Structure 1
């Protein structure tokens, strides 16, 4: 079996598992607590509840969710990757169908537990897809596109967008559910930021006596270039070489080990990069 085939099987399994988890999460924690997950899913649930309460109409989650994902899917096909978007479409459709078919089940009525653990489960399912080079759809496409085109961590922007969604839900259905939904969404976002770090950036400052070997090791491991800075030690006033490079968040450990293998005596400082402007190699998404 080829490496490509194995990768595609892993992606499909990740999509299937994530779809089941999301559907179960919606029909247990989200529906029991009357919460709004945010993004396209939250918008779908909000419109479902508006139609049911004010018009007495039950709308299909699968149909609404698919319609709301049309624009994000277009962004995915055009700017991110066709195969990436294809698997995302499988996740969108499967999640919608399972949400409509699976029965609702109450685990607990404690709103705090519902908000926190529901958000953690939701974040885990989304991260599962992202780590398999696909997504659950909706605002994930927008966040990835902004991260790639602007070089920033866009998940906090997605959280800010969701707050506006919750303001509408609060006005129509009461502020208690909307406020608890903020806990849900915050937990989701935090889990994603912890588990999925590809579009975050890390900066490495490497003080070394072997700058050439370190640069070659970094390029071989991460395909990132580096800049060699010449400095002076404050204690012995000797000449120092500092290799400066920026890598993706999920490459930080790989870059650190590569530098240490090239120079075991190197002094390395790794810091989180808040924002990046300029040319930066990003592993392509198929």
Structure 2
């Protein structure tokens, strides 16, 4: 009887865990849908309220769509949807179902919102302001969508596909492709608009990086010192960050070395350097950027 009760309790526990997992999954799906909607809407605002009315274009498939819309007089949203559809199928095969569906949803939202915003007048007639702020708004929107597993332009997928056949990296292929598109704006519009388009593209590119990586940029630090224990204790007590000791060996000397590894944010880098210098002025210190940190004990402890 007791064994039956224990079995029943275990089944109930498993059922509760399954319900919690489903609930968590649903929350993630809803979160992804809402944020991709927000990102696509922001990109549409950047295009229709800032760039397009001032005849400034973005790179990639969107840039081609803007020029075709101007030449034919058809809606921008129609070309964005039509030209990106082939990349949906490529993305489905090359990258996966979740990415492809997220991309398709984002493109549909972008196409609809650009059509709705088309009659709205430009926020500013100053081309430089339109290029800068349009690039910022567009970059935030694209960055949000990329951060949550989608894409609003098929250029990246095309670059991944060509990467296997050409002696260039994905980044180089995207750059060449976009320079060709942005240069074409000089023939469709004017050459000054092509140069403003380069400004908008650069601003959007940098904004995407910031949005994807986040403002609270993390850094990894590697420290080699004979006073590793003192440095590690100081980092924990003065920065509130955890450290990990790794056993190493000097290639030239053959001596055993204690390597300190820790993760900090960019505001703590100067303080970390100060701690290391105070404990051991001759210590080896290497600091590198990290795109994302998950798990472990990265959360900062309170310092008393």
Q: Do they fold alike, i.e. is TM over 0.5? A: yes
* 2:141 corresponds to 1:122: no
TM-score (norm 1): 0.67
Partner of 1:19: 40
* 2:291 corresponds to 1:270: no
Partner of 1:230: 249
TM-score (norm 2): 0.64
- The 2-side partners of 1:243 and 1:95 are apart by 47
- The 2-side partners of 1:244 and 1:229 are apart by 12
Whether contact under 8 Å (1:123, 1:191) holds in the other structure is yes
- State the SS of the aligned residue for 1:133: coil
- The 2-side partners of 1:133 and 1:243 are apart by 34
Which residue, out of 104, 121, 140, partners 1:105? 121
- State the SS of the aligned residue for 1:191: helix
Whether contact under 8 Å (2:50, 2:130) holds in the other structure is yes
Whether contact under 8 Å (1:231, 1:242) holds in the other structure is no
Which residue, out of 152, 167, 170, partners 2:186? 170
Partner of 1:83: 98
Q: Displacement of 1:155 after TM fit?
A: 4.9
- The 1-side partners of 2:194 and 2:180 are apart by 10
- The 2-side partners of 1:144 and 1:188 are apart by 21
RMSD: 4.2
In structure 1, runs of 5+ residues without a counterpart are: 52-57, 211-226, 246-250, 274-286
C-alpha change, 1:153 and 1:269, in structure 2 (3 Å) is farther
Q: Displacement of 1:138 after TM fit?
A: 2.0
Which residue, out of 187, 211, 224, partners 1:207? 224
Q: Report which of the two structures shows the higher radius of gyration computed on alpha carbons.
A: 2
* 2:88 corresponds to 1:73: yes
Matched residue count: 235
